[in-house]
């Protein structure tokens, strides 16, 4: 074989080796990526299952006939563990929030003014809300983002004070000067509560599940579920400096001062 043809053959072999090496590297990368994705999906599924188990655990305690087993409403977070996964559970009294569909205009305006809005601006927002509710009541607090005036506000700071599930026209006292929070009633039948369970499989895989429902007091059907979903991380940060309830005549009332 002439030397020139040998050179061409050598170059062809080198190109073929380079191509095969590239294909092998791509295949190895694909396998590694698929393995990582599979591990991530498994970890996410475990976290979701643990968070849901935490919600069921809290519901079970709230439905217990022994009041001593009831977790405190609006109390500190409860540490728990499921299948080796750390779970943090909070139980909140939905009656301590303002129901956007049931609250009177005066209550909503007072809340907005407590958040720093001028009376005219607060009245305008309430008017926009009522106009939107002519079609149908709000099904979620997040629907406020579809109302132009409300969408321009810092709703991330307001959401924990608002609801559409309580069915109450007023709000309950959340805190008291002596105990720091209102005592949990002996009977929880008829109450609407919000349970949040956060499960952390690792620092990179954390899931928060949220449940809202009414406690019926019926052992055959102890709860009526209104919402059960996974909380999405809120990218908008709360910029308000004071998140604690205002002081009113020596008492704390949620979510603001009620004259």
256 and 140, same domain (yes or no): no
204 and 241, same domain (yes or no): yes
85 and 188, same domain (yes or no): yes
Rounded Cα gap, residues 166 and 174, in angstroms: 14
Rounded Cα gap, residues 244 and 250, in angstroms: 14
Domain boundary among 170, 205, 223: 170
Which residues does 38 contact at the CB level (< 8 Å), separation at least 6? none
232 and 119, same domain (yes or no): no
Domain boundary among 127, 147, 170: 170
Higher-pLDDT residue of 111, 249: 111
226-255 tens-digit pLDDT:
999 988 765 455 655 444 444 333 333 445
Mean pLDDT on 202-207? 90
Relative orientation angle of helices 105-114 and 119-133, to the nearest 10 degrees: 130
- Give ∠ CA 169-174-176 in degrees, rounded to 5: 135
User: Structural domain of residue 134, as residue ranges?
Assistant: 98-170
Backbone dihedral region for residue 185 (phi beyond 0: left; psi -120 to 50: alpha; all else: beta): beta
Of the chain, the percentage scoring pLDDT greater than 70 comes to: 80
Mean pLDDT on 37-63? 91
Q: What is the pTM of this model?
A: 0.75
119 and 55, same domain (yes or no): no
- Cβ–Cβ under 8 Å, residues 223 and 63: yes
20 and 112, same domain (yes or no): no
Per the structure, how many domains does the chain have?
Answer: 2
CA 217 → CA 95, 196, 221, distances in Å? 17, 21, 8
- Cβ–Cβ under 8 Å, residues 136 and 70: no
234 and 135, same domain (yes or no): no
Residue 171 host element (H or E): none
CA within 13 Å, CB half, 90: 14
Rounded Cα gap, residues 153 and 158, in angstroms: 9
Tokens for 63, please give them.
């439905």
Domain boundary among 122, 153, 170: 170
- Report the range of poorest mean pLDDT among 66-80, 84-98, 165-179: 165-179
Residue with tokens 């996410």: 44
198 and 259, same domain (yes or no): yes
> Looking at residue 97, what is its pLDDT?
95
200 and 162, same domain (yes or no): no
109 and 151, same domain (yes or no): yes
Q: Give yes or no for a cis peptide into 206 (omega within 30° of 0).
A: no
DSSP state of 191: -
86 and 189, same domain (yes or no): yes
Residue with tokens 């106009």: 131
13 and 68, same domain (yes or no): yes
**Which pLDDT band holds residue 102 (cuts at 50, 70, 90)?**
very high
Q: In the predicted model, what is the mean pLDDT of the chain? A: 82
Phi, psi of 115 (to 5 degrees): -90, 5
């Amino acid at each position: 074989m002439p030397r020139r043809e040998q050179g061409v053959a050598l170059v062809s072999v080198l190109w073929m080796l380079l191509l095969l090496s590239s294909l092998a590297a791509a295949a190895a990368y694909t396998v590694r990526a698929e393995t990582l994705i599979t591990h991530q999906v498994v970890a996410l599924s475990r976290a979701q299952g643990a968070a849901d188990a935490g919600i069921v655990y809290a519901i079970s305690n709230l439905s217990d006939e022994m009041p001593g087993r009831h977790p405190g409403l609006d109390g500190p977070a409860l540490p728990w563990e499921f299948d080796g996964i750390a779970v943090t559970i909070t139980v909140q009294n939905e009656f301590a929030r303002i129901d956007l569909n049931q609250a009177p205009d005066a209550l909503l305006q007072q809340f907005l003014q407590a958040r720093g809005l001028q009376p005219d601006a607060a009245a305008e927002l309430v008017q926009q809300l009522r106009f939107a509710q002519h079609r149908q009541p709000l099904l979620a607090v997040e629907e406020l983002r579809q109302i132009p005036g409300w969408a321009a506000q810092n709703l991330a700071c307001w959401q924990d004070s608002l609801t559409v599930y309580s069915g109450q026209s007023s709000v309950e006292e959340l805190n008291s000067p002596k105990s720091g929070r209102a005592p949990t009633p002996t009977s929880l039948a008829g109450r609407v509560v919000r349970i949040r369970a956060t499960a952390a499989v690792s620092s990179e895989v954390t899931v928060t599940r949220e449940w809202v429902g009414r406690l019926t007091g019926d052992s055959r059907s102890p709860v009526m579920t209104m919402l059960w979903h996974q909380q999405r991380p809120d990218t908008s940060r709360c910029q308000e400096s004071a998140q604690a309830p205002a002081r009113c005549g020596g008492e704390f009332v949620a979510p603001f001062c009620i004259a």
